[in-house]
Amino acid sequence: MNANIQNVPITLGDRSYSIGIGTGLIEDPQTYAAAPKAATALVVTNTTVAPLYAERLIRALSARYPSVHTVVLPDGEGHKTWQTLNLIFDALLGHGCDRKTVLYALGGGVVGDMTGFAAASYMRGVPFVQVPTTLLAQVDSSVGGKTGINHPLGKNMIGAFYQPQLVVCDLDTLKTLPAGELSAGLAEVIKYGPIADPAFLDWIEVNMDALMARDPVALAYAVKRCCEIKAWVVGQDERESGLRAILNFGHTFGHAIEAGLGYGEWLHGEAVGCGMVMAARLSQRLGLVDEAFVQRLALLTARAGLPVKAPVLDAVDNAGRYLALMRVDKKAEAGEIRFVVIDGVGKAALRGAPDALVREVIDACCA
């Protein structure tokens, strides 16, 4: 086993697996010792990541699989669609892949979500491994088994819960991450403090400059701590029947921003960062946190290079447009929007709120 690796276990009975975190992992064949053996592996990546890391991964996997194939998808949230998903199925069928074929998701959250959904669906389920190359994917989307694609009316509305066999977080990939993608990932890092760990929120505030400068020690700690918190949550509520919903802090507003602007206009993390500030404002209006907390979170979000002012989605009835989009949300029940709010720092809750109050929050955050 690679000496540079730290492991965080995800405990889910016979679906348990490990998150490996370290440097120099992608090109080391030993990294994949826990992955299933098979005659064939398919590496799913995109046009941005393939030139950087695909050959390294293929070389490492060639020691384990007699045949290693690759499919390169177009890059970006706007391509998280049925049409792009079919490119993966085309490759699987075209290469005669059987039900033991192992899929490797090499890329960010879009590649991971689509590869996982393809793995869940092909021959009713084949194994897959996550090799996330963005900060956002390493701390959030690659862990926990949420897979899927977008629909024009709602983000991630079509998908499945399907756990990977292994997650490989090679911190070296963060060196090639564009600045905007780094900031987008920091939104998901920040999220874990308010919902679960006040001490981690304090640590992020102290270390934000180091994180923005890509200090390897700070990034390694942030990825590990986020994975530990997510592992704890997912281990208790794999299919989001209760506790796991807290991981969606900022996402109800954020998904509305993404769908309303058009997928890809804002990065997912940018929308979540702004959405967290909006959710904090709603928490304050519900009497759960004070104004100082809202300002604290807004300042930290801005320091991460993320937007804190919400975009106008409709010139005539902006709040109405937000509300309509938020009703197409997996947490909505019988048309009532359910928001993840902060009920004191380190504790999140799922709550409804009157439309009139939500409209006031939206108006204030867009002003």
Query: Which candidate in 181, 240, 258, 270 is catalytic?
Result: 240
Query: Which candidate in 224, 255, 330, 338 is catalytic?
Result: 255
188 assigned to active site: yes
**CA dihedral sign of residues 201, 207, 210, 214:** negative
Domain ranges of the chain: 6-176, 184-366
* CATH class as words, domain 6-176: alpha beta
DSSP characters over 277-308: HHHHHHHHHTTSS-HHHHHHHHHHHHHTT---
146 assigned to active site: yes
251 assigned to active site: yes
Query: Which candidate in 188, 238, 258, 270 is catalytic?
Result: 188
258 assigned to active site: no
Instruction: Say what the pTM is.
Output: 0.94
244 assigned to active site: yes
Query: Which candidate in 46, 150, 156, 248 is catalytic?
Result: 248
Q: pLDDT tens digit string along 117-172?
A: 999 999 999 999 999 999 999 999 888 899 999 998 888 889 999 999 999 999 99
Q: pLDDT tens digit string along 267-309?
A: 999 999 999 999 999 999 999 999 999 999 999 999 999 999 9
Q: How long, in residues, is the chain?
A: 367
124 assigned to active site: yes
Q: Which helix (H) or strand (E) holds 128?
A: strand 128-132
238 assigned to active site: no
Q: Residues 184-366: name the CATH superfamily.
A: Dehydroquinate synthase-like - alpha domain (1.20.1090.10)
